[in-house]
Chains A and B, each alone.
Chain A
Amino acid sequence: AQSVTQPDIHITVSEGASLELRCNYSYGATPYLFWYVQSPGQGLQLLLKYFSGDTLVQGIKGFEAEFKRSQSSFNLRKPSVHWSDAAEYFCAVGAYQAAGNKLTFGGGTRVLVKP
């Protein structure tokens, strides 16, 4: 069975500082990996995804993530955080299906941004 672990429940970072969110997965085959961001009371917005190819993936809003198969990790990074980045971030692994991906989500990491 697939699973996703996000070890950090909360992270507080100063505006302008760098951010790294950890994600570890367990999956029996080649994983399809995603990072989503959720603002309070809102749905999810896809930041980036990894299917294959280059292990460093660029996403929206200045985010990037690196797939490391040897470590079963897919950590999300941003060099300089903006106050608007305060939100909940979810890592997910997908089971490839004929019509869309069935996702298993990690527990989420809440990011707080200090002025």
Chain B
Amino acid sequence: GAVVSQHPSWVICKSGTSVKIECRSLDFQATTMFWYRQFPKQSLMLMATSNEGSKATYEQGVEKDKFLINHASLTLSTLTVTSAHPEDSSFYICSASPGRGEKLFFGSGTQLSVL
């Protein structure tokens, strides 16, 4: 079945540094990928929709300059948390779909801890 690979699985960084998270669709092309954020014991909140070859669409309240999304190819989207702070510590999950009406496949998530 379709697989979405997310890397790294976990990362610890110092406050003020930037962290890049990759999301790859391994056996299908995805013109659209989605980035979610999950705080402990809470639900997933959609952050942004990543569109191949164009700008990402951010949900209300999500800082575009803080969470940079690049969807450079049909199989890769990256989320960069810039100048990370402890409040950015969270579980980030990406998802992608092979196409119209197809179900979403989720990556295994990235646990970010900012010290």
Chain B, Cβ-Cβ closest to A48: B103
Quick one: given A99-B30, A99-B31, A105-B44, are A46 and B93 in contact (CB under 8 Å)? no
Q: Which of A43, A97, A98, A102 contacts B106 (CB 8 A)?
A: A43
Complex CA gap A101/B106 in Å reads 12
Q: Are B107 and A46 in contact (CB under 8 A)?
A: no
Number of B interface residues at 8 Å Cβ cutoff, please give it. 30
Give how many A-B residue pairs fall within 8 Å (CB-CB): 68
Q: Please measure, in the bound complex, the distance between the C-alpha atom of A92 and the C-alpha atom of B45, giving whole angstroms.
A: 11
Chain A residues within an 8 Å CB radius of B44: 44, 90, 103, 105
- Determine whether A96 belongs to the interface, using a CB cutoff of 8 Å to chain B: yes
Q: B-contacting residues of A (Cβ < 8 Å)?
A: 34, 36, 41-46, 49, 51, 90, 96-108, 110
Q: List 12 A-B contacts (CB under 8 A).
A: A41-B111, A43-B106, A43-B107, A44-B106, A99-B31, A99-B100, A100-B30, A100-B34, A100-B104, A101-B103, A105-B36, A107-B43
Q: Which 6 A-B pairs have the closest CB atoms?
A: A100-B97, A99-B32, A43-B106, A43-B108, A44-B106, A105-B43
